[in-house]
Amino acid sequence: MTSKTSNTLKSYYQSLYKEYGDSHKSVQHVSKESQNVRFAIFLNMISSSSRVIDLGCGLGDMLLYLRNNGFTGEYLGYDFVPEFIDAANAKFSSDTKAQFKVFDIYEDEIAQGYDHVLISGVFNNKMTDNMGFLTLTLQKSIQQCKQSVIFNALSTFVEFKNEALFYVSP
């Protein structure tokens, strides 16, 4: 992903946030329910006391779901949209086991010592080099985590495709 693509994508999410505020629509999810279905899958793959990184954390919706469903572990949320990080930091200011940071996969290093890196929705937008971005992100994540990298991506096995989205063949 070139910095132009990154800036374009960042601007896109900033405009969604400006329009919708603290909503699933700001992070390009169809509904809160579909978002929670994905989060439930992540939760089933980690222990409640794990140390996790949520790469592409958006507004911290995954942390809210995890906390509401028994997760007591440490959480570090990374996103490249500063407005998302500011909103998440404000929303979870009393959660002493959670922190949110602005993060650029091309320039920053993923923190060490975390059990899992969770990646939801990060690979969905079409970019200049989707496979390069996906590969780099997974490589950096695998190098830093202690147990697993858990991610999702849009599948080519669908009835309808949106031209602005990136689909991976399983």
Distance CA 129, CA 153 (A): 15
Distance CA 106, CA 127 (A): 14
List beta partners, residue 54: 77, 118
pTM of the model as a whole: 0.94
Q: What pLDDT, on a 0 to 100 scale, did the predictor assign at position 7?
A: 84
| Range list of β-strands (E), 1-147 | 51-55, 74-79, 98-102, 116-119
Q: What pLDDT, on a 0 to 100 scale, did the predictor assign at position 65?
A: 98
Q: What pLDDT, on a 0 to 100 scale, did the predictor assign at position 25?
A: 96
Q: How far are the Cα atoms of 14, 46, 129, 150 from residue 85, in angstroms, in the given order?
A: 11, 24, 25, 21
Q: What pLDDT, on a 0 to 100 scale, did the predictor assign at position 149?
A: 98
Q: What pLDDT, on a 0 to 100 scale, did the predictor assign at position 5?
A: 55
DSSP code string of 132-167: HHHHHHHHHHHHH-SSEEEE--EES--S---TTB-E
Q: What pLDDT, on a 0 to 100 scale, did the predictor assign at position 6?
A: 77
The first and second tokens of residue 50, run together, are 């794990």
Residue 168: enclosing H or E segment and its boundaries? Answer: strand 167-168
Q: Is 1 a residue whose pLDDT tops 60?
A: no
Q: What pLDDT, on a 0 to 100 scale, did the predictor assign at position 123?
A: 96
Please report the domains of the chain, with CATH numbers, ordered by start residue.
Answer: 3-168 (3.40.50.150)
30, with CB counted inside 10 A (0-12, 13-18, 19+), is exposed
pLDDT band at 3, cuts 50/70/90?
Answer: low
The lowest-confidence range among 6-10, 29-33, 39-43, 70-74 is 6-10
Distance CA 77, CA 57 (A): 5
